[in-house]
Amino acid sequence: MNSDTVFDYEVIVVGAGISGLGAAYTMQKAGLKVCVLEKENRVGGRMSTDRVNGFVIDRGATILGRDFGYMRKLSAELNVKQFENPFRFVFGLKGRDKMRFIRPRRPDDLFQKGLLTFSSLRAIVRFFAGMLWLGRKLRHGQSVRTAAYDDQSIEEFLTRYGGHELLEKVLEPGLNGPMGGHFRQNSRLIVWQTFWNVLFHRVWAYRSGMDTLPEAMAKKLEVKLNCAVATIEHGHPCRITLQSGEVLTSKAVVVALPGNIAARVCRNLPAGVQELLAETTYGKMSIAHVMLGKRPAQDAPGMGFYPLAGEHCEIEAEHLRGPEFCPPGKAMLSLYFWDHAQETVSAMSDAQVNAKAREVIARHFPDCAEAIEGIHLVRWEEGIARFPPGRLKKMAALRQQMLHWDLPLQFCGDYLDGIATESALALGVGAGEVWVKRLRG
């Protein structure tokens, strides 16, 4: 590299989700000149928040684990720890006869009368034994340590041990929402990660909205909003061409975009890398946040249905997740719809999804059917990354490859590690540390 070359920045980060912000913040603290480019008019990605008529509406992520070390460390550094709100995530399973509650760290709840039969015992033991055996290796950001176990889907794994009831009555109704509607096809490692990091520990949320942390990070950084990137060319210098036609240069780039989008905008990637990124797929989610003028008779922050033939959705009671999310005396139920064999919700119009949400409320919360004050709809084309068996192993290999290649380019995002904001943040911090080491020595 010519020492006389003039760069606009030492590092440019493309994407201001929690992963890109984590990378930029790490480098900024080390003294690097960094700029973050974001195509939207705000930061945060799936950690963004809307505010409507006094309701605080988290658009994507809603639950954080007490074991989210990167997230909690940044909360303390940026003085937003006081906004953390721990709560108890009890999950309600509604069948045809009654509601049953599954409490955190209480696998014995699975043997409530009428839920699972004794034939499911072997599958339950194998499920929890596998998770506990891997233990802290399942922490988000560390999938390279467990990639060898990315060999079968959760359906394949549990079917071997007679786990049909566990799949259909508990895991699928409870995890289809958080996993973007493709629970059964996900690697068993992804399911174990979810249980270990969230459902097996205490949980929390930001009482002021999930955008609390991203917004606090952005205040420390140079962020250019409404700045869509057309192409990224790595070289000496790296050239980032915006859709406006403007060109920015840098010594290095961190690409914090969904994998499939990164494959489209990055030029001249090594053989196999572009194809691997392009194979990244996501579940499409339609989330109807139903604002209510009264509190429903709902005792659990989460609620699912079994058998799934009843309702293909999961519900979160936001007023139980945090009292500050709703005006006094009011409530909000967030309905997470996913595509399934009988219905492609992502192809419905907004009016159709809103009508579907009203029907669900009328069936299961009839006392609130006339108390609906509005519905705030959020649609995600790239929602939750899919991890069929073997995908996590390929991503672990790519992460190792990036540590050693001589390209001035790093990728980060949860699609490289798992399905959580902590995964995204961990990968962003890691990408930032790579450039701190190489550019500052």
pTM strictly above 0.85: yes
Q: How far apart are CA 115 and CA 30, in angstroms?
A: 54
CATH level 3 topology of 105-199 = protoporphyrinogen ix oxidase, domain 3 (1.10.3110)
DSSP state of 101: E
CB 416 within 8 A of CB 428: no
pLDDT at 97 over 90: no
At 118, the pLDDT band (50, 70, 90 cuts) reads: confident
CA 392, distance to chain mean position in Å, is: 15
Q: What is the pLDDT of residue 222?
A: 98
Is the pLDDT at 315 greater than 50? The verdict is yes
Residue 344 near residue 337, CB atoms below 8 Å: no
238-242/247-255 β-pairing = antiparallel
Residues 89, 314: contact at Cβ < 8 Å? no
Residue 61 or residue 306, greater confidence:
61
Q: Which two tokens stand for residue 311?
A: 């309702």
**CA 208 to chain CA mean position, Å:** 19
Tell me if 185 sits within 8 A of 62, measured CB to CB: no
Please say if the pLDDT value at position 321 is more than 70.
Answer: yes
User: End-to-end alpha-carbon separation of the chain, Å?
Assistant: 16
- pLDDT tens-digit profile of 156-215? 999 999 999 999 888 988 888 888 888 899 999 999 998 888 777 789 999 999 999 999
Alpha carbon distance 396, 427 (integer Å): 11
With bands split at pLDDT 50, 70 and 90, how would you rate the model's confidence at 1? very low
9-46+211-280+388-440: CATH homologous superfamily?
FAD/NAD(P)-binding domain (3.50.50.60)
Which residue's structure tokens are 């700029």? 35
For 285-300, the pLDDT digits (tens) are: 999 999 999 999 888 9
For the cut 70, the answer to whether the pLDDT of residue 430 exceeds it is: yes
pLDDT at 111 over 70: yes
Average pLDDT of the chain?
Answer: 93
Burial of 76 (0-12, 13-18, 19+ CB in 10 A): exposed
Q: Do 154 and 388 form a contact (C-beta atoms < 8 A)?
A: no
Instruction: Return the amino acid letter for 138.
Output: L
Cα 57-62-67 angle, rounded to 5 deg: 150
The residue extents of the domains of the chain are: 9-46+211-280+388-440, 49-65+281-385, 105-199
Alpha-helix runs per DSSP H in 334-376: 350-364
Give the pLDDT of residue 191. 92
Q: Tens of pLDDT along 23-60?
A: 999 999 999 999 999 999 999 999 999 999 999 999 99
Residues paired with 317 in a beta bridge: 333
What fold, for 49-65+281-385?
Answer: Polyamine Oxidase; Chain A, domain 2 (3.90.660)
**Residues 51-71 pLDDT 10s:** 999 999 999 999 999 889 999
Q: Is pLDDT above 80 for 96?
A: no
Residue 394's region, left for phi above 0, alpha for psi from -120 to 50, else beta, is alpha
